[in-house]
Amino acid sequence: MYSPKFIINSAILRYIGKIEAAKEVIENAPLVPAYEAKFRQEAIIRTVHHGTHIEGNQLNTGEVAAVLEGEGVPARDRDVQEVLNYRNVLKYIDERRTTNDKRYEFTEKELLAIHKLTVDKVLAPDKSGKFRNTQVVVKNSKTGEISFTPPKAGEVKGLVSDFIRWLNGEDAEDLHPVLKAGIVHYVLAFIHPFVDGNGRASRAFATLVLFSEGYDIKKFFSLEEYFDRDAKRYYKILQSISNQKVISLSDRDLTGWLEYFCEGLAEELARVKERVQKLSLDSKLKGRTGQIMLSERQVKLVEYMEKFGSISNRQWRSVLRDFSDDTILRDLKDLQKKGLIKKKGSTKGAVYVLK
């Protein structure tokens, strides 16, 4: 049975430590539902855009957002279809991981379903959601040079079945979910089970692993953006592992790839954490008050007080230009009632500060 070969070096440990720290902050940040919904939608758009762009899709982020909203864009039919397909893949992943209340069992059927959704109306039906029965090669898109030759078609089903058995076994159960997802990404990309859509299917299945093991992290992040930001490095690292002079898949040293994979998730979550913290209450304040639901206006008022120490009548009018004095005063009174702020001074010269 397949068994991954790698070393948990100091870099991997450091990145996992950063991932865990960011996960803790993000999952416990007291955000209003409107912000959470916004973060999730942005993550979907970024994941769909970068997950397809890295494969050659020509739509930009704005066009992807428009397509997902049902709007028409002047683009190739294939590009539009790939965007819709990957959105459907993310929906499938979300539905699958929420239907299991016991330890998740991964299946070949899921991998085939993800591939079928990925290439719907892009690949011929007889090749969609089916393992390849022909040899394929990976070429440099600019030079045409063959950079990697995946296993023979006759070996594909056996390699996938063997790998899925490992993924559901005790050895995999003991692995950190991020390492497990990284291994899934590499192994499926190496096997290249399909004639097309292997990259998207591999990344999507790795996402399913993360989500099913409690690492959806509110679905605020997009690992695909990290890969696409420096696609040359992404493919170079994958290729360097695949071109090792070993015969067995189990003999390939995945350390370099897992270090890169962990670095990517750590970097992406650190970026998300910074955004979340800007919209969250001070940690001490949260410790005293718990998860307090605030409106977007109230969040802006609290953020201003956190940054500058206080807010006056003139200042809150500047911060919330589009709202009446009565509306803002009601928000301030509500914040006082919740015990988050207090008022200092007379009516005209009053300032509000955090308690």
Check whether residue 241 and residue 327 sit in a common domain: no
Q: Which residues are catalytic?
A: 192
| pTM of the full structure | 0.79
Residue 241 predicted with pLDDT over 80: yes
**What backbone torsions phi and psi does residue 5 show, to the nearest 5 degrees?**
-115, 120
Q: Which of 278, 310, 331 is at the close of a domain?
A: 278
Q: Which of 278, 304, 334 is at the close of a domain?
A: 278
Residue 284 predicted with pLDDT over 50: no
Kindly state whether residue 1 falls inside one of the protein's structural domains: no
Q: How far is CA 349 from CA 48, 303, 342, in A?
A: 50, 21, 14
| Rounded average pLDDT over 209-213 | 94
Query: What pLDDT, on the 0 to 100 scale, is given for residue 314?
Result: 81
Check whether residue 252 and residue 136 sit in a common domain: yes
Taking each helix axis from N to C end, the angle separating 255-278 and 10-28, rounded to the nearest 10 degrees, works out to 30
Burial bucket for residue 146 (CB in 10 Å: 0-12, 13-18, 19+) = exposed
Query: What pLDDT, on the 0 to 100 scale, is given for residue 88?
Result: 98
Query: What pLDDT, on the 0 to 100 scale, is given for residue 297?
Result: 86
Q: How confident is the model at residue 281 (pLDDT cuts 50, 70, 90)?
A: low
Residue 291 predicted with pLDDT over 60: no
| Averaged pLDDT score across all residues of the chain | 89
Burial bucket for residue 302 (CB in 10 Å: 0-12, 13-18, 19+) = buried
Query: What pLDDT, on the 0 to 100 scale, is given for residue 32?
Result: 67
Greater model confidence, 272 or 140:
272
Query: What pLDDT, on the 0 to 100 scale, is given for residue 142?
Result: 57
Greater model confidence, 283 or 177:
177
Write out pLDDT tens, residues 27-64: 988 776 777 888 899 999 999 999 999 999 999 999 99
Write out pLDDT tens, residues 105-117: 999 999 999 999 9
Give the integer Cα–Cα distance in Å for 325 and 275.
29
Query: What pLDDT, on the 0 to 100 scale, is given for residue 141?
Result: 57
Calculate what percentage of the chain has a pLDDT beyond 70: 92
Closest by Cα among 74, 61, 102, 26 to 229: 61
Calculate what percentage of the chain has a pLDDT beyond 90: 64
Query: What pLDDT, on the 0 to 100 scale, is given for residue 97?
Result: 65
Check whether residue 199 and residue 327 sit in a common domain: no
**Number of structural domains, the chain?**
2
96-105, 251-260, 308-317: the lowest-pLDDT one = 96-105
Query: What pLDDT, on the 0 to 100 scale, is given for residue 283?
Result: 42
Q: What is the SS3 assignment for 167-221?
A: HCCHHHHCCCHHHHHHHHHHHHHHHCCCCCCHHHHHHHHHHHHHHHCCCCHHHCC
Write out pLDDT tens, residues 108-164: 999 999 999 999 999 999 999 999 999 998 876 556 678 889 999 999 999 999 999
Check whether residue 155 and residue 221 sit in a common domain: yes
The CATH code of the domain that includes 290 is 1.10.10.10
Check whether residue 178 and residue 326 sit in a common domain: no
Query: What pLDDT, on the 0 to 100 scale, is given for residue 287?
Result: 46
- At a CB cut-off of 8 Å and minimum separation 6, what does 208 contact? 93, 96, 97, 106, 110, 114
Kindly state whether residue 170 falls inside one of the protein's structural domains: yes
Residue 101 predicted with pLDDT over 60: no
**Beta carbons of 164 and 188 less than 8 angstroms apart:** no
**What backbone torsions phi and psi does residue 24 show, to the nearest 5 degrees?**
-60, -45
- Per-range mean pLDDT, top range of 133-142, 170-179, 304-313: 170-179
Closest by Cα among 61, 84, 82, 64 to 73: 64
Check whether residue 302 and residue 213 sit in a common domain: no
Give the integer Cα–Cα distance in Å for 354 and 340.
6
What is the span of the domain harbouring residue 332? Answer: 283-354
Kindly state whether residue 336 falls inside one of the protein's structural domains: yes
Q: What share of the chain is helix, strand, coil (3-state, %, to 5)?
A: 65, 5, 35
Structure-token match 């916004």, residue found? 38
Strands 351-354 and 146-148: unpaired
Q: How far is CA 155 from CA 97, 158, 161, 162, 230, in A?
A: 29, 6, 10, 11, 32
